[in-house]
Amino acid sequence: MSKLLTPGPVHVPEFVMEAIRRPVIHHRSQGFAKFYGGMLERLGYLFQARQVGTMIGSGTYGVASMMYSVFRPGEKVLVLSNGKFSGRWKDEALHLGLEVRSFEVAWGKAIQTNAVMKDLENVEALAGVVITHSETSTSCLVDLEELAFQLRQKFPEVLILVDGITSVGAMPYYHDTWAIDASITASQKSLMNPAGTVAFALSDRALGRLRPTHQGDFRNVWNYMEAIKKLTYPYTAPVQLLYGLDAALQFIEEAGLPAVWDRCHQSARYFRKSLLELGGETFGENISDSLTAFSFPEKAAEQLKVELKSRFAWTLSSGQGGLKGVILRTSHMGTSDVGVMEEFVRDLRACL
Amino acid sequence: MSKLLTPGPVHVPEFVMEAIRRPVIHHRSQGFAKFYGGMLERLGYLFQARQVGTMIGSGTYGVASMMYSVFRPGEKVLVLSNGKFSGRWKDEALHLGLEVRSFEVAWGKAIQTNAVMKDLENVEALAGVVITHSETSTSCLVDLEELAFQLRQKFPEVLILVDGITSVGAMPYYHDTWAIDASITASQKSLMNPAGTVAFALSDRALGRLRPTHQGDFRNVWNYMEAIKKLTYPYTAPVQLLYGLDAALQFIEEAGLPAVWDRCHQSARYFRKSLLELGGETFGENISDSLTAFSFPEKAAEQLKVELKSRFAWTLSSGQGGLKGVILRTSHMGTSDVGVMEEFVRDLRACL
């Protein structure tokens, strides 16, 4: 049992490590094409999407490259933010020269669909929206299904881009049915893999927005989609990492997505119930199943983190930015199931 | 013995795979800081440089991000090109809005120091130079030591950026002594690792050119160098991949760089001597030790590639662009030593 409880990176289970150590094959070969084709099918299942792909890089690279690829400088784009990562996308949107319309609430506050729609009442010509489904810094979740529906009703052609880094594979996510245009996730979360790869899904609308630049433009998703037509990669493919991703996707497919989502949900519910019994508090409104941000009124967060590590070898994440020293965060993704939470709660009790 | 002879990705030896499967640790922890500090020291040995770092991504990401980070739009930058990859940097320079001065010779032709310097005779205010040390598409090598010396003599403050992707770790490379400003290499070449990480070295001049943008700007090397001050990563670190890199760096350190360079050199010399005996020809002028591009007058290249694969399981690379069908390419990096070349030459003979 792994005692790594950070909400990314998560523990990489043995079956993923075994897949990663398979021999290198070249990314321009029939062997790779066959492998990648099968993997993309399984990735489609994960996103519940027809058109999917992978890239080399961190989650930040994934979301920012997608923003660069589907939006054009000067376009009006709404960015919703209530934490460190969603705030990062606002900065990136400014950096890309978009006309940024920012909808911001305090860290830990939920982004309510009604409030967003009210804010957009008199807005026309909205080219895009950037939504962070589950904000990893605070655990706040957006009601993506409803929000996407309302946005689509008012702006039929708006391009909806979703940071699904800590949501895809942890909670219900239906890229095609929810009419999301671009969804991005990263390997070191619910996919239980080392950091370094990004997976995404695209709608026809998003695909139609991609434009060629040049082959060395590694931010341009167009290059990846062109290569996918031939089941290859525009750059040297991270073959080992893709082996690992595929092993996780096979695992998810065999269990079935609802069972995987439920495992994450049960872990979250069990931990939160126990937390209340121990006198602790969750942080944030409308919290996600993939992680819990929490604190104890009578115990300093950083002190608790140190004790859990030194006495019991558990690794948790601190709060980020202004929340450092205020909250701790534990993951419910991947192998952090109810069984692991039971052990964790027992040791947590001993530290209080 | 691996039969993967592509000049990247190369075979990942067992000791690297073993390192990669070590348990995940979080990238903001004392454990990571200690590990990363040690790894950076070994990386400094590889580059023969004081200031080094790593990033997540492909080699293209590495070189292009470095160009983005050290040059400013409008600056006059000379780009030397004679193949697919060096050509890519020219496109990227244009894309970044640099005032590109291009020095181009045909694929397979050597870039001569004298010709470059003559071309620069009446040039002033040259902000930078982008040099591809070993052009992987043709195997042509630049005399980097001499070229850098001449450039520095004429332009004391010019920023020299080197794509060392198939040279660092394969041939003598002295970042600090040669007064290179930014050197970049990638994991899937002489470092015998899966693709997905980039390593670099910087001079004080290059460090002084870095400017903050925002934390989500994953192209900005400034973010990586800020994080390195605290021995951490600006994004989720590819910890497993860094374990793998460190294992390779330890291996190189124990053998000693001259012995590693010599192994590559001997492999190249043995193969080229045998090639002549078999009636084959090398392609390109001033060829690099890290790979050989070759052909046989009486045997079609692609046909030979297919036979080597189907009869003996060897994987080679085709030529790229207009050289497809004209040449094949074999690697001498990493585990492709004389012993492997002996086996390869025996099977090659059988296919002629």
User: A-chain residues within 8 Å CB-CB of B194?
Assistant: 20, 24, 238-241
CA angle B255, B258, B260 (to 5 degrees): 55
The token pair at A24 is 């290198």
pLDDT, tens digit, 9 for 90 and up, residues A306-337: 999 999 999 999 999 999 999 999 999 999 99
Please tell me which residue of chain B has the smallest CA distance to A198.
B57
Q: What separation in angstroms does the CA of B349 have from each of A8, B295, B305?
A: 51, 13, 13
Please tell me which residue of chain B has the smallest CA distance to A28.
B317
Q: How far is B121 from chain A (nearest CA, A)?
A: 30
pLDDT, tens digit, 9 for 90 and up, residues A229-282: 999 999 999 999 999 999 999 999 999 999 999 999 999 999 999 999 999 999
Of A227, A234, A242, which is closest to residue A187 (Cα–Cα)?
A: A242
The token pair at A124 is 């026309």
DSSP assigned state of B7 = S
pLDDT at A1 over 90: no
Q: Do A17 and B21 touch (CB under 8 A)?
A: yes
Sign of CA dihedral A174, A180, A182, A183: negative
Q: Do B315 and A25 touch (CB under 8 A)?
A: yes
Q: How far is B92 from chain A (nearest CA, A)?
A: 6
Of A338, A316, A336, A340, which is closest to residue A328 (Cα–Cα)?
A: A316
Q: Do A27 and B17 touch (CB under 8 A)?
A: no
**Residue entry with tokens 């992978």:** A54
User: B-chain residues within 8 Å CB-CB of A218?
Assistant: 57-58, 60-61, 64
Query: What is the four-CA torsion angle of B223, B224, B227, B228, rounded to 10 degrees?
Result: -150
A-B contacts (CB, under 8 Å): 174
Query: Ramachandran region of residue A104, left (φ > 0), alpha (ψ -120 to 50) or beta?
Result: beta
Of B12, B28, B236, nearest to A188 by CB-CB distance is B236
Residue B298 phi, psi (nearest 5): -105, 10
The rounded distance, in Å, linking the Cα atoms of B166 and B187 is 10
Q: Do B9 and A236 touch (CB under 8 A)?
A: yes
**Which residues are CB-neighbours of B317 under 8 A, at least 6 positions away?**
A26, A28, B5, B6, B7, B328, B329, B330
Q: Residue B271's pLDDT is what?
A: 98
pLDDT, tens digit, 9 for 90 and up, residues A276-314: 999 999 999 999 999 999 999 999 999 999 999 999 999
pLDDT at A214 over 90: yes
pLDDT, tens digit, 9 for 90 and up, residues A64-112: 999 999 999 999 999 999 999 999 999 999 999 999 999 999 999 999 9
User: B-chain residues within 8 Å CB-CB of A25?
Assistant: 4, 315
Q: Do B4 and A12 touch (CB under 8 A)?
A: no
User: B-chain residues within 8 Å CB-CB of A28?
Assistant: 317-318
Q: Do B196 and A6 touch (CB under 8 A)?
A: no
**Which residues are CB-neighbours of A4 under 8 A, at least 6 positions away?**
A10, A11, A315, B23, B24, B25, B26
Q: Would you call B98 helix, strand, or coil by DSSP?
A: coil
The rounded distance, in Å, linking the Cα atoms of B305 and B303 is 5
Instruction: Compute and round to an integer the Cα radius of gyration of chain B.
Output: 20
**Residue entry with tokens 């140190």:** A306
Q: For strand B76-81 and strand A128-132, is the pairing parallel, antiparallel, or unpaired? A: unpaired
Q: Which amino acid is at A146?
A: E
pLDDT, tens digit, 9 for 90 and up, residues B255-311: 999 999 999 999 999 999 999 999 999 999 999 999 999 999 999 999 999 999 999
> Are the C-beta atoms of residues B88 and B130 closer than 8 Å to each other?
no
| Region A16-25 average pLDDT | 92
Of A54, A341, A340, A13, which is closest to residue A200 (Cα–Cα)?
A: A54
Residue ranges of chain B with pLDDT lower than 50? none
The rounded distance, in Å, linking the Cα atoms of A306 and A322 is 19
Please tell me which residue of chain B has the smallest CA distance to A63.
B216
Q: Do B214 and A91 touch (CB under 8 A)?
A: yes
3-state SS of chain A is CCCECCCCCCCCCHHHHHHHCCCCCCCCCHHHHHHHHHHHHHHHHHHCCCEEEEEECCHHHHHHHHHHHHCCCCCEEEEEECCHHHHHHHHHHHHCCCEEEEEECCCCCCCCHHHHHHHCCCCCCCCEEEEECECCCCCEECCHHHHHHHHHHHCCCCEEEEECCCCECCECCCCCCCCCCEEEEECCCCCCCCCCEEEEEECHHHHHHCCCCCCCCCCCHHHHHHHHHCCCCCCCCCHHHHHHHHHHHHHHHHHCHHHHHHHHHHHHHHHHHHHHHCCCEECCCCECCCEEEEEECCECHHHHHHHHHHHHCCECEECCHHHCCCCEEEECCCCCCHHHHHHHHHHHHHHC
Q: Do B88 and A60 touch (CB under 8 A)?
A: no
The complex's ipTM? 0.89
First to last CA, chain A: 23
Q: Which of B3, B16, B24 to mutate to test the interface with A (most CBs of A within 10 A)?
A: B24
Of B6, B89, B216, nearest to A26 by CB-CB distance is B6
Q: For strand A291-295 and strand A281-282, is the pairing parallel, antiparallel, or unpaired? A: antiparallel
CA angle A210, A216, A218 (to 5 degrees): 60
Of A27, A58, A92, nearest to B235 by CB-CB distance is A58
Q: Do B9 and A239 touch (CB under 8 A)?
A: yes
Q: What separation in angstroms does the CA of A156 have from each of A100, A126, A207, B239?
A: 19, 10, 16, 42
The rounded distance, in Å, linking the Cα atoms of B286 and B139 is 8
Of B32, B28, B36, B88, which is closest to residue B62 (Cα–Cα)?
A: B88
Q: How far is A156 from chain B (nearest CA, A)?
A: 30
Of B124, B34, B83, B3, which is closest to residue B287 (Cα–Cα)?
A: B83
Q: Which amino acid is at B198?
A: V
The rounded distance, in Å, linking the Cα atoms of A305 and A351 is 10
The token pair at A49 is 């999407």
Of B56, B58, B94, nearest to A58 by CB-CB distance is B56
Percent of chain A residues topping a pLDDT of 70? 100
> Are the C-beta atoms of residues A286 and A55 closer than 8 Å to each other?
no
The rounded distance, in Å, linking the Cα atoms of A294 and B104 is 60
Of B42, B56, B13, B30, which is closest to residue B240 (Cα–Cα)?
A: B56
Q: Do B216 and A64 touch (CB under 8 A)?
A: yes
Q: Residue B1's pLDDT is what?
A: 82
pLDDT, tens digit, 9 for 90 and up, residues A26-60: 888 899 999 999 999 999 999 999 999 999 999 99
